[in-house]
Amino acid sequence: MNKFIESAEKNIRWFENSGVMHPADGFWGVAERLVALDIEESIRKEIVEKFASRTMLKNSFAVESRRPDCNFETAVMFLLFGELANNEKRFATGENILDYLYFRSAMMRSKKHKLPCAWRWSHIILSADGHWLDDNSWCIIMQCVLHNTFKKLDKKYHAGDAALTLADHLNAAVARIMEQEPDEKGEMTDPDQLWIGNLRLPHWGGLSVFALSSVHALFGKEEYLPAVRKYLLQLKCELPGFSTSEYAYAMMGAVAAAAAFGDDLAAEVARMSRDLLLDAADKESGTLPSSHYEAPSGKGLADLIYTLNWSLLGLQMYCRFAPEDKEARGLLDKQLALVMDIQDKDESPEFNGCWRGMYDMEKQSWGGGNLYEGGSSSIYSGWTNAPVSTALLLDHAGISLLELSGIKKHPVFLTKFC
């Protein structure tokens, strides 16, 4: 079996056997994450206080919040595996997760809402009226994937229509946020308070640009370009001063905009993010230092929630955009080899085949500490495991999220179950 397919299948078995997806066929979606019981007591108490719904397992507990972004990322990973491995059962699991999202979760806002087709943070916090920029950007991107690649499913869920509707509102939000000066904290947030997140950081802004670029590529939305360019112009000035965890988010947004709009400024920011990633990467392993504010920091710590996972997908996109760049391809190959090498080999089904949130490169084991959302004891469904497996599957297919989301044409269209 191909090494990428084999590693992805190990991870799929983790989804099915660990308790993060109960029932294992995806009927009720996937939980946000498992939290290993080896976590520091103070951090465990903080998580328990903030997340009301949990399922206790033998060696961990599931944080049962069904987040739309985590579910979309996991569904697309299962669909992609089903296509590439000719596995109808796993494809059906992906469709079950989508059925949950569209028909059972009640998380997507109605067309009468002030943000039609936006997704609430979770199925549990029903009163929460804010909508996260990063989470909803991923929901738009993944719905573009359905519209472009899995066309029968797009007809079933009207995913492309939903992505287009929400992207129009996202574009308006980016435009009005970019008209504001940073607040006293240095953050740039929505003055209308419809969206949550600091657009100034690529974690929020880069993903928003990626989402807008995907929708433009599919539906011809040239009117998105002014807001995109205004953000990228600011990012060009500020990116070198951001933490390493922001570089891959910047790369994904800039590459998507450069490929979708043919924009020179976006291409320049893409090359800048490429240079920053290569400069920051360990020359031997390819890993990047952990520096995100929600995760423990350290040069020898590989963060798989905010940094290394997105570097895989960002570098794939860049290498499809600039196929002559052998140095970028070399870094991507090192990072792909690294994640396959460190994939969890624990005998417990709660951990076997997963990627935990942080790996200690010096100790060659999972570790490095924990914070409320980041660290080795948090094992995310989306954001970590599904994106890493997706990167492996895409590399096996010789494509990237550019092709999957419609920004670039598929070299060979997927057709088995689409």
List the CATH number of the domain containing 199: 1.50.10.10
Taking only the tens place, the pLDDT of each residue in 206-243 is 999 999 999 999 999 999 999 999 999 999 999 999 99
Examine residue 164 and state whether it is found in any structural domain, yes or no: yes
Examine residue 395 and state whether it is found in any structural domain, yes or no: yes
Q: 361: exposed, middle or buried (C-beta count within 10 Å: 0-12, 13-18, 19+)? A: buried
Read off the tokens for 16.
């099915």
**315: which DSSP letter?**
H
C-alpha distance from residue 255 to each of 120, 364, 386, 400 (Å): 28, 33, 21, 11
Taking only the tens place, the pLDDT of each residue in 89-148 is 999 999 999 999 999 999 999 988 999 999 999 988 655 567 999 999 999 999 999 999
Domain that holds residue 197: 110-116+130-404
Examine residue 311 and state whether it is found in any structural domain, yes or no: yes
pLDDT value for 412 = 56
Query: Between 113 and 74, whose confidence is greater?
Result: 74
| Confidence band for 312, pLDDT divided at 50, 70 and 90 | very high
Average pLDDT on 278-296 reads 94
Task: Tell me the C-alpha distance between 179 and 264, whole Å.
Answer: 22
pLDDT value for 416 = 55
- When divided into structural domains, the chain yields a total of 1
| Confidence band for 413, pLDDT divided at 50, 70 and 90 | low
Examine residue 148 and state whether it is found in any structural domain, yes or no: yes
Q: Is the link from the previous residue into 23 a cis peptide, with omega within 30 of 0?
A: yes
pLDDT value for 87 = 96
Alpha helices in 150-224 (DSSP H): 151-157, 159-178, 202-219
Taking only the tens place, the pLDDT of each residue in 360-387 is 999 999 999 998 898 999 999 999 999 9
Q: Are 178 and 188 in contact (CB under 8 A)?
A: yes
Q: Is the pLDDT reported for residue 202 higher than 90? A: yes
Examine residue 8 and state whether it is found in any structural domain, yes or no: no
In SS3 terms, 101-136 reads as HHHHCCCECCCCCCCCCCECCCCCCCCCCCEEHHHH
Examine residue 220 and state whether it is found in any structural domain, yes or no: yes
pLDDT value for 249 = 98
Q: Are 143 and 163 in contact (CB under 8 A)?
A: yes
Examine residue 145 and state whether it is found in any structural domain, yes or no: yes
pLDDT value for 50 = 86
Phi-psi region of 23 (alpha: psi -120 to 50; beta: other; left: phi over 0): beta
Q: Which of 221, 382, 238, 368 is nearest to 302 (CA)?
A: 368
Examine residue 58 and state whether it is found in any structural domain, yes or no: no
C-alpha distance from residue 114 to each of 111, 195, 297 (Å): 8, 11, 39
